[in-house]
Amino acid sequence: MKTFAFLAATAALAQKKNKNNYNNNNNNYNSGSAYGDPHFMVSSNDQPAICFDYNPEANTQIELLRDPATSLEVMAETSSSGNLHHEEQVIMSKITLSTPSGAKITMDRDGLHLESAASDVAGEPHPFTGVFEYADAQIVEHKGANGGIDRAHIQVGEAVFIIKATKKGSMSFAIREPQGLSPRSTGLIGEFLEPNAYTVKFLDEDNAEIILNGGKLDATKKEFHRAAECWVVEDDLAQFNDLIKE
């Protein structure tokens, strides 16, 4: 594995640690992120990023990414947030990345958990970088202010991922380097790894149509979850979900 590339990506991400930036107008590759409650940002080729909410029921599984070429898979498990003021709120409370060799890397509010049918043992962290190997993955853990693990950078092959925990117990997931992932991938993020997955057709400064799998969806340019501006799909989420799965 190219540890240098992994560390370079990790260093760049560390600089963005406290930014939830959806402004990806100059993006030239496909990627995506899923955030706690959950909401999503995805990008494709040179198109602006698009954002959308997703409203699953509690105690269900969400397929974020499934790569048929390598068997790499990322699943999120949902639960009630436990927020007394928002009893209906559902969050991603656990995220599991399954590597091509079958190893499972899971993060929840208790930290990072490693599991392998082959009884793989985690290697010793590098004394300078903190990178350690587990099965066919390279991992760097980052501790939060309370001393617990609040995020992990994971490299499998050439692809780099982040799983991050929030203070409220929800989990986020991001593809930060999609190199090596199949364009035939599926899942709420994986569907957008296909080249030219969608096109943003600008109607005016603040309104556009998203062309996706032959369908059209209205989108508005505005702040999304108190973050930077993004092209937000709101009114036709059921249709949007159907188009993603086509």
Q: Contact, 164 vs 108, CB < 8 A?
A: no
Band of residue 2 on the pLDDT scale cut at 50, 70, 90: low
How far is 13 from 100, CA to CA, in rounded Å? 25
Mean pLDDT for the chain overall: 84
Strands, sheet with 171-177, edge to edge from the N-terminal-most edge strand: 132-134, 137-143, 149-156, 159-165, 171-177, 31-35, 39-43, 50-53, 229-233, 215-223, 207-212, 198-202
Average pLDDT over residues 212-220: 88
Q: Is the pTM above the cut of 0.75?
A: yes
Band of residue 234 on the pLDDT scale cut at 50, 70, 90: confident
Q: Contact, 187 vs 24, CB < 8 A?
A: no
Q: What is the dihedral of CA 172, 74, 72, 20, to 10 degrees?
A: -20
Q: What is the DSSP string of 84-126?
A: TT-TT-EEEEEEEEEPTTS-EEEEETTEEEEE-TT---PPPPP
DSSP label at 56? P
Q: Tell whether omega for the bond before 38 is within 30 degrees of 0, i.e. cis.
A: yes
∠ at Cα 200 (195, 203), nearest 5°? 165
How far is 87 from 73, CA to CA, in rounded Å? 30
> 50-87 burial, b for 16+ CB within 10 Å, e for fewer?
bbbbbebeeeeebebbbbeebebbbbbbbbebeeeeee
Band of residue 237 on the pLDDT scale cut at 50, 70, 90: low
Whether pLDDT at 13 is above 50: no
Give 16 or 240, the one with higher predicted confidence: 240
